[in-house]
Structure 1
Amino acid sequence: MKITRAVFVLLMIAVLILPTAISHANDSPYQKERETLEALGLFQGTSKGPELSKTMTRAQAAVVLLRMSGDLTSMASEVGAASLFTDLSSTHWAYPYVMHATNKGYIKGTSTTQFSPEQSVTGKQFITMMLRSLGYVDAQPQSAAKLAVQAGMLSTDAAARLTSADPFVRGSMVEVMYAMLTTKLKGEEQTVLNRLVAKGQVTKEAALATGLLVEEGNPQPTPAPEKPVEPETPKDPMDAIEQAIHDKLHGH
């Protein structure tokens, strides 16, 4: 039987492209949020991709916490300081992050002597950490859902769903991080994104490009600048598909 060019291309798509698309299907609900956070330098995937269904640990949560609070640049002050927790040595990769977040009052141990860095973080714990970084220093896990709604960070339904998550996964983390960008700090008109720009964690150009930045004197976010659309020369779609297959086969 003679196989036409079109049939051959479709067969190659089924073999090479569809498995990849299926493996990332769980990323799609958070695509906009993830891409925005990536553009701002606030979200990083792994060697395997976004891995939004992967469980987060308490150590990883500490890193995200400092990234969202804009305190990564001041973390160096913790290097060489004595550990506050017996299960977190100074050689642990998350040591300076956990120490700095603890000293800032954003995060607490699972006991007076233990931090449990490799333990899965719960939704209540994660959102409580984020609320403290907004200025709600007395935030507690048991009231995190209610406070997240009062702070304007999450809707009632989202707060109930996310705080009940145990364990907490990277996709839920992306949802919370994105919601935080336009959340105001306690008692201030400044949003988290404004603070990140002011602290140099995010460039103003990148923040403006998201359309989420609230500039001084303007209570509404500044719309993202429109990019000129250049007319494209019509191309044979089969050529593009064949090129994609070629790149896949040759590791491009």
Structure 2
Amino acid sequence: NPTTWLTEWAPEPRDVYWENLAIPFVFLTIRRLIAAIAFFFLTFFFMIPIAIVQSLANIESIEKALPFLKHIIEVKFIKSFIQGFLPGIALKIFLLFLPTILMMMSKFEGFISLSALERRSAIAGLAYDHPLCLPLPYMSPCRIPKTIGVSIPMKATFFITYIMVDGWAGVAGEILRLKPLIIYHLKNSFLVKTEKDREEAMDPGTIGFNTGEPQIQLYFLLGLVYAVVTPILLPFIIVFFALAYVVYRH
């Protein structure tokens, strides 16, 4: 930092994000200010489509919007699926785009190492996930006791299904590594010509810190929030951490 005469260890060559290396230091402050403003608007406006989709992901809203599906929705299996899993799936689909958006914003800020980009994106992801389970900083202090006593317990059922959809299924998908497996077979069929190409195609990659860390921190925060008001959520979180330990340990 030339303005304060502070130095830090340079990243190793494999960790350098070369596209940001030539950005003048004067522009970094402007870029980070723009990124902070963009993140502020993203946090609030990204909630709007999520709220709309989740409001439609229930039986009454679907029957009102699509009345010709009423007879199909009343089938016991379909009705149970809509009530139990559709809201969590809807939230998960929207959150799939979030890490990519946050990584693009981190690159715009001008960090010069891949590890710094992932760390910045992970911090932003955790800050974004916070109001999903604990919206206390965004409301009047006089409403906090009512929120803790009424609103938070009402979301317990939703978060139970979300943990099963995102947490349990997510760690299972992580250990299967379906995406690298499919990419390997595609490369092996069309691009591999030498043994070096085959070794590069077989590289499964690493765990994304900017995606895995916010997820773990979110479930830890959910456990802290619901441990007292709705302890029925805790067994589902414990199962997630047990599965995550096995997956990330190996």
TM-score after normalising by structure 1: 0.25
Larger fraction in helix: 2
